[in-house]
Structure 1
Amino acid sequence: MKRLALPVFVAATFLAAFVLFAMQPFAGRALLPQYGGAPHVWVTTAVFFQVAVLLGYSYAHAAPKRLSPAPLAGLHVALAIVAFIAFRPNGLVGAAALGKLLAGAPPGVRLLCHLAVTVGIPAFFLSSTSPLVQLFVTRTKTISNPYYLYVASNGGSLLALVAYPAVVEPNIGLATQSAWLRAALAAAVACVAASAWLGRLRPPDGAPDAPSPAPTEARASGATGEAAEGSPAAPDAATQWRWFLLAFGPSLLLSGMTLHVTTDVVAIPLFWVVPLGIYLVSFMVAFGRYGQRISGPVRRMALLFGTFLICAMHANVASLWAILPHALYLLLAATACHSILATLRPHPVHLTRFYFVMSLGGAAGGAFCSIVAPLLFRDLTEYPIAIVLVAWLLVDGTDRLRPWFLAIPLLTGALTYGLSQVSQRCALTGSTAAALVFGPVILLAHGFSKYKNRYALAVAGIFVASTLFLRGDLAYRNRNFFGVLRVVREGNGRFLSIVNGTTTHGIEDVRAPGTALSYYHPTGPAGDFFGILNQQPPGHRVFIIGLGIGTLGAYAAPEDRWTFFELNDLDVYLAKDAGYFHALSSMRAPYEIVVGDARLELEHRTAAAGDADVVVVDAFSSDMIPIHLLTVEAVKLYDFHARWAILFHLSNQFADLAPVTAAAASAVGMSSLVRTDLELSPADVGKRASRWLVATRDPQLLRALAQRNPDWVTPAPTRAPWTDDKADVLSALSAKTPH
């Protein structure tokens, strides 16, 4: 029986984790067209699944206390069957009646309710499986250390995480995914049912008891009295608090690093897979066979590298290579924290309590970053907070707080400020400036690395000083659910720009606010298109998806009517009411601003076919257009409204979107031309390189564009277009040509 039991337990743990982590991206991807706006859909979906894990671990901790093995096995099998019946993937893919029922509720509430109804019970069941199966292993004494199954659980999670963007999404449509996911859930249910049946059995006579913690480990785990002699006493409150913090810190670091890199370093679709994969690997290493042996060296490396990460954060380099310091630190820091967690794990009798507290810390870290931080901070402050917290957690030496410790952050902060002034006077920028400002102060801070509180205060002083004094020409900064927007002065105050991360979304000349600059310059592709439009009879109706600062309004004629669709209300405030930008007030045509997801808003107007001459797609999430705005279904909707043409702004750093956009236009019967404008002469003040694509049914427009500028060319042949059912994002990244 033992030979049979172990493979069943491993399969149940692995499959449950695999299906759970495949279900999360599937649910988020399926709901994008219905709720719009990739950022808040993905964030809300992640929070939902974190809560599901917490609830599942809570059930796994509470149920064994109240039920003997046989009733517990029966309860979990019943839950497995209910989860399989309740899984409604078609409710995600298709139009759900729930959306109509909750039409008046905020989008976030509707999304959470939609997830709860369609995947809530399966997510709850799958989350509870890993700790319960490990408890079954403990009771049957199948193996001496049930915590090794945690490695199998994280292995299943990692495999699903890598497979979804690399294999599943590019090749399998959502309808087929839902069928396969249901089959995988059935297999997981079968394995879990077998595990529950085996878990109700008594161990064979003579089977060894599960090992108690070693004496040093027992003391670290908070065991006292009888616990030190080997009996499974419950861990004390101080130990459980350490569990919570050691889970909270890496979770906060994961969320903060993901937001920082995708907004301030490189904005790449699906990048969230990389840090989450690293996070799962850290669990596998920490709870594996050699986790405790490498704990000390990894901890020292994380402390050393954490201070140098400060320099990387202020280098202001937008490059794929700039990701590496952040990814390496996340791996080291998370592995170090989780190795300490593995050292503090209790007797297997208390493993469900251990996993419950861990999940509570992990969920709290994610919730703080996605819900609390946007309310408290105007910038991505949670990332530096996570680095300071992890530094405090990893230092071995303890030191009682004393009043003179306050001099430490003042010292590191003052040195940071002084070196920043030297850097500015020497006109240093980028990596050179970061090395000068932070190199000496990092070495100073590392001198305190033997003492927990002193080291954390030293690092905190650096971050506070860099926030207060290294603002450069920042005029305004604020944050909401959709991210951080900054207003920056350029050209000795002549220009104001609105910036999201490393991406500029509009530039205004304060001397001539009605001038089209940046990507919208008159000598660029946008200037070509609107030059031809304004040669037509007056009175055009123009829909603009994405506001920025309203720069395109410079091309509006008095007889025109323009409508801007903008998802981010903070962007609307900055462009219209904050007093920084005047492009909208300088418009010669009347305009209106509709706040909401453009695709959803246009769907509500389906009774008015051809109610616009032109639809311009100029919406960005940091550096990328949200996927659901470039699918065949989206282009069909734009074509329904636009009588003459659709203009797509495709400029970005890491993806070639022209082929898939042209393929989507071709799928609805439209022809396309694309122009990549790299000509930036000194005379074109305020101009930025850009790429635009025009889709139309009017051959005269295409001929006029080609005559106006020979750089308007037919897009290169492509593979299948993106649809709401399937989108191969990775191929667009690999096909990128610099511009």
Structure 2
Amino acid sequence: MFSVQPLFARMVLPSLGGAPAVWNSCLFFFQGVLLAGYLYVHVISRFLAPRRQLILHGMVLCLPLLCLPIVLRQPLEGGDPGFLRLLVILGVSLGGPVFAVCTTTPLLQKWFSAGRHPLADDPYFPVCGQQSRQHGGVAELPHPAGTQPDAGPAELGWACGYGAVVVLTLSCGVMLWRQGPQPLSVVPSPKTIRLSNRPGGRDGCGCCFRLFRPVGCWPSPPRSPVNWSPFRCSGWCHCRFTFLTFILAFSRWQPMSHVWMVRSFPVAILLLLFLRSDSVLQEMVKHLAVFFVGAMVFHGELARRRPGTSRLTAFYVWMAVGGVLGGMFNSLVGPLLFPSYWEYPLTLLLACLLFWRFRSEHDPKQVNWWVFLPEGMAVAVVLLLAVARGSLVDGLVTVVPLVILGFLAKRLTLVFALGVGVVLLATEFGDLFQDQKAVLHSERTFFGVHRVLRDVETGFHELHHGRTMHGMQNTEPSRRHEPLAYFHRSGPLGQVFDEFSGENAKSRIAVVGLGTGTMVAYREPGQHFTFYEIDPSIKRIAESPHLFTYLSDSGRDAYDIVVGDGRLMLARARDKSFGMIILDAFSSDVIPVHLLTREALELYYRKLSDDGFLVIHISNPHVSLGPVLGNLAADAGSRCWICRDQFVPTGLQESGREPTLYAVIAREEAHLGGLLDSKSDLPWIEITPDEPEAAWTDDFSDVFNILR
């Protein structure tokens, strides 16, 4: 079902932009439709006989065929359409097909349990297929980046796939009709009796199922060793692991013992807390390992506590309720309630608190040496890594609390959970007291955590979003007007403004991406800057004189700030009103693809004067945007040049200059004046397009192939 989620997001992004309301509306829609579909199956399975269910469900499946292929049914104008209108658009465009798909698997399992198959008493083993779709597992297997490169064929493929689902589902129903269903047993299995009498035995299914969901929704991470979660850039692995753990947990063949997974869980938590590494790959492997073990534990408990076939549909309903609650917690409660990324440590703490409730059920009656094997292996790993790094003393210091918490995990599981909570809190708040940088301001929004730091040695103020620095300023009164970081006067952007200064200066300049407002430091008398910024909190930070003074020093008549999606807001400007458009929105780990498409370039050219040009800041450690811009320029009959300032001496970096990468796109070389003839050590080199026909469009973009 959720294969249509990235597909439809690609369709609405150019029209709606990347505002939080769009994401929240889509989230509520898909999870709400999933819950509605499960409730539908629950109701008809209780009040209708299987043959009548087949007739009704046949109509439910066939009616959405009239709505295929999926298209945006309601044309949209630029601007915020509102939460309710977005829900209406989603419902009209794809409500029918999505509802029909999400009802199919639980109903098929209910039909299977009513048949005469030898395994009809335990129809849960196909549950992994449904959950893989719920997490996008099967749907996104061909595209690890999480998106379809070409939305056009994807729409047709999804429509054909839906047609196949209709045919196969109705075929299963016809088979059940022919053989005649056996009466459903109303006596639950002994396992069901034992578990259903426990408080929360059934109602906790959704919570157990969604327990580790916040890890997969992780935004751009901060620098804390616990809060720094690599799942943001490994979401594809998260989906695959969710899919795999459901298969292993509900499969009739158990290659991994659930008891061993339960015993390994506290060890995984301890290794996460006490193993530190500066390697991104090692951190990613460590967090993914914890996610895998934790998902195996709680999905295994979900499978172990599953009810009998008489309550199969209720089982699905509670899982959907857990999904809705988990989605609300991540997308709404977290950004509003927590000042930083606390969902991950709170999820780990909650996992440990829930863990103690069923830990004793898996303890052996006799304590053997192999019971302590996971803890022993963890201690050995820590010591071996310490020896390899030449710091055995540090390893021994790490082992002591690890052994203590490991003992508590064996004997006093609740105390172990509280101990983990103390370590997590110490790590979180310890990040606020750094030796080199003091936190002046911290604010969390739907776009992430923004921090303003003060470097103790240099006195510079720096704006950080997660691990990405978006600007800095010298606080000395005589030097605070100097543009620093990626906008340094001796860098590529400085060359552009030096060339177009004085009589050649552009009177009106548009900048997509505000940051600290550094670019206004290049303003000359008579010039006006218009900034387009999607995050209102960035506007507040940039205009706060106690944090950054670039904007306040320039005066209110020097600039305007338009809050909203850059492409949508720029479309409202007068045609041919800007001499230069600067795009500064591609430095973080998430790039706005809709700003680099053929349709977007056509928009920029409409807003530029006849001799206007584009300047694009493309410094990014994760993706290489040079080939994308080369193909895009060639597709439009333009040319593209790139300037690399990536080897900055240490002395210059200490003075505020950062390695950077810029590109310019112009319809004619003459529009760039003498920029390309500059005798600087930083030459502008023309990009030769490798595949002009592969230019990105609103329907096509292949982000995965440009990953570094």
Alignment TM-score, normalising by the size of structure 2 = 0.85
What is the distance in 1 between the residues matched to 2:688 and 2:394? Answer: 41
Q: Match for 2:86 among 111, 130, 137?
A: 111
Return the letter of the residue paired with 2:18.
G
Structure 2 match to 1:194: 171
- The aligned counterpart of 2:347 is 386
Structure 2 CA distance for partners of 1:199 and 1:558, relative to 1, 3 Å: farther
Distance 1:490 1:262, change over 3 A: closer
Query: Which residue in the other structure is 1:307 paired with?
Result: 270
Instruction: Name the CA shift for 1:178/1:65 in 2 (closer, same or farther; >3 Å).
Output: same
Change in CA separation of 1:442 and 1:194 when aligned onto 2, cut-off 3 Å: same
Tell me what 1:247 maps to.
209
Q: Does 579-588 or 646-655 show the bigger shift?
A: 579-588
Query: 2:506–2:580: 8 Å Cα contact kept in structure 1?
Result: no
- Residues 219-238 of structure 1 aligned to structure 2 (within 5 Å): 220-222=194-196, 237-238=199-200
CA distance 1:155–1:457, change in 2 (3 Å): closer
For structure 2, the 5+ residue unaligned runs are: 362-390
Q: Distance in 2 between matches of 1:585 and 1:578?
A: 6
Which secondary structure state, in structure 2, belongs to the residue aligned with residue 359 of structure 1?
A: helix
Residue 140 of structure 2 aligns with an amino acid whose one-letter code is: L
- Whole-angstrom distance in 2 between the partners of 1:277 and 1:105: 34
1:536, distance to aligned residue in structure 2 (A): 3.8
1:67 aligns with: 48
Q: Is the CA contact (8 Å cut-off) linking 2:499 and 2:674 kept in structure 1?
A: no
Whether the 8 Å CA contact 1:539–1:559 is kept in 2: the answer is: no
Kindly state the Cα deviation for residue 542 of structure 1 after the two structures are TM-superposed. Answer: 0.3
Q: Say whether 1:446 aligns with 2:406.
A: yes
Question: Comparing 76-85 with 380-389, which one deviates more in the overlay?
Answer: 76-85
Q: 2:567 and 2:80 mapped to 1: Cα distance? A: 18
Cα distance between partner residues in 2 of 1:266 and 1:330: 11
Matched with 1:487 is 452
CA contact (8 A) 1:154 1:281 kept: no
Q: Which residue of 2 aligns with 1:151?
A: 128
The residue that corresponds to 2:695 in the other structure is 721
Whether contact under 8 Å (2:647, 2:659) holds in the other structure is yes
Amino acid of the structure 1 residue aligned with 2:257:
I
- SS for the counterpart of 1:547 is coil
TM-score by length of 1: 0.82
After superposing the two structures, state which structure 1 stretch, 123-132 or 300-309, moved more: 300-309
Tell me how far 1:273 sits from its aligned partner: 2.6
1:275 matches 2:238: yes
Instruction: Tell me whether 1:327 sits opposite 2:268 in the alignment.
Output: no
Distance 1:59 1:708, change over 3 A: farther
Counterpart CA distance in 1 for 2:394 and 2:471 is 27
Q: Per the alignment, do residues 292 and 54 of structure 1 end up closer, same or farther by CA in structure 2, a change over 3 Å counting?
A: farther
Which one of the candidate residues 541, 547, 566 is aligned to 2:514?
Answer: 547
Q: 1:266 to 1:29 in 2, by over 3 A?
A: farther
**2:12 is matched by which residue type in structure 1?**
L
Does residue 184 in structure 1 map to residue 165 in structure 2?
no
Instruction: Spell out the pairing of 1:504-653 with structure 2 (5 A cutoff).
Output: 504-511=469-476, 512-538=479-505, 540-577=507-544, 579-587=546-554, 590-605=558-573, 608-620=574-586, 622-643=588-609, 644-653=612-621
Which deviates the most, 499-508 or 636-645?
A: 636-645
Alignment RMSD: 3.1
Measure the CA separation in 2 of the matches of 1:483 and 1:111: 23
Quick check: 1:292–1:339 contact (8 Å CA) kept in 2? no
**For residues 346 and 474 of structure 2, what CA distance do their matches in structure 1 show?**
37
CA distance in structure 2 between the partners assigned to 1:432 and 1:550 by the alignment: 48
- 2:386 corresponds to: none
CA distance in 2, matches of 1:453, 1:544: 53
Match of 2:330 in 1: 369
Letter in 2 for 1:690: T
Q: Which amino acid in structure 2 is aligned with residue 547 of structure 1?
A: L
CA deviations on 1:376-426 (whole Å, 9 max, x unpaired) are: 111111111111111222333469xxxxxxxxxxxxxxxxxxxxxxxxxxx
- Structure 1 residue 159: Cα displacement: 2.3
- Mark the CA change 1:531 to 1:103 in structure 2 (over 3 Å): closer, same or farther: closer
Change (3 A) 1:457 1:76: same
Conserved? CA contact 1:392–1:453, under 8 Å: yes
Structure 1, unmatched stretches of 5+, are 1-19, 224-235, 400-430
What SS does the corresponding residue of 2:486 show, helix, strand or coil?
coil
Match of 1:657 in 2: 625
3-state secondary structure, aligned to 1:558: coil
46-55 or 367-376, which deviates more: 46-55
Instruction: Point out the structure with the larger helix share.
Output: 1
Tell me, yes or no, if the aligned pair for 1:310 and 1:438 is still in contact at 8 Å.
no
Offset of residue 137 of structure 1: 0.2
Does structure 2 retain, via aligned residues, the 8 Å contact 1:528–1:705? no
Q: Distance in 2 between matches of 1:35 and 1:208?
A: 49
Which amino acid counterpart does residue 627 of structure 2 have in structure 1?
P
Deviation readout 1:530-577 (Å, 9 max, x if unpaired): 111114434621000000001111111121011000000011111113
| Range with bigger deviation, 435-444 or 667-676 | 435-444
Post-superposition CA distance 1:242-277 (Å, at most 9, x none): 323312312234334x66499975889974333122
Counterpart secondary structure, 1:393: helix
Question: Alignment length, in residue pairs?
Answer: 656
Q: Distance in 1 between matches of 2:517 and 2:491?
A: 17
Which of 305, 310, 315 pairs up with 1:344?
305
Q: Secondary structure at the match of 1:159?
A: coil
Equivalent residue, structure 1, for 2:384: none
From 645, 653, 664, the counterpart of 1:694? 664
Match of 2:36 in 1: 55
**Percent same amino acid among aligned pairs?**
27
Question: What is the CA-CA distance between 1:433 and the residue it aligns to?
Answer: 13
Which residue of the other structure, out of 298, 313, 327, is the alignment partner of 2:261? 298
Given that 1:675 and 1:692 are in contact with CA atoms closer than 8 Å, whether structure 2 keeps it comes out as yes
Counterparts of residues 74-93 of structure 1 (less than 5 Å): 74-87=55-68, 89-91=70-72
What SS does the aligned partner of 1:459 have? Answer: helix
Asked if structure 1 preserves the Cα contact closer than 8 Å seen for 2:19 and 2:534, the reply is: no
